[in-house]
Amino acid sequence: MAEDVGLSRKTVKVDGVDVLLTEPLGLVPVMCEAVVEVRTLADGNYAITLGAYVIDENNAPEVRVSARLRVTPQALGLIGRLIDAQRELIAAQTAELKKAAN
């Protein structure tokens, strides 16, 4: 597929099967600073709407929706565990830096 040209190829496990992971070349990262809405859908998945703060001097501040996600409970749990692990790593590194500074 043309949108996959030049990307490193990786796989992820889905139900024990290796599945090719691709990323379109035109995918633009967006800033998400605010959780606008979280809903549980009828199928048990979650609908999460994220937004970015927009402040300029000519208009009233606003939160502009920048992403709408549909996430399985399993993926949401994994995201939570990854964030917790990152926080623990940062806390350990900060403690090391403080210790070295004293």
Ranges of each domain in the chain = 72-102
Cα separation, 96 vs 47, whole angstroms: 39
Confidence of residue 5 (pLDDT cuts 50, 70, 90): very low
Q: What percent of the chain has pLDDT over 70?
A: 91
Q: At residue 9, does pLDDT exceed 90?
A: no
Q: Assign 48 to helix, strand or coil.
A: strand
| Cβ neighbours of residue 84 closer than 8 Å, sequence gap 6 or more | none
pLDDT at 46 over 50: yes
pTM of the shown model: 0.67
* Contact by Cβ (8 Å): 64, 36: no
Instruction: Write out pLDDT tens, residues 10-44.
Output: 887 888 898 888 888 888 888 899 999 999 999 99
Q: Which residue shows structure tokens 């606008």?
A: 36
DSSP string, 14-46: ETTEEEEE---TT-------EEEEEEE-TTS-E
Beta carbons within 8 Å of 58's beta carbon, 6+ residues apart: none
Task: Report the C-alpha gap between 50 and 64 in whole angstroms.
Answer: 8
The sign one gets for the Cα dihedral 24, 28, 29, 30 is negative
pLDDT of residue 2: 38
The per-residue pLDDT for 25 is 83
Read off the pLDDT band of 78 (50, 70, 90).
very high
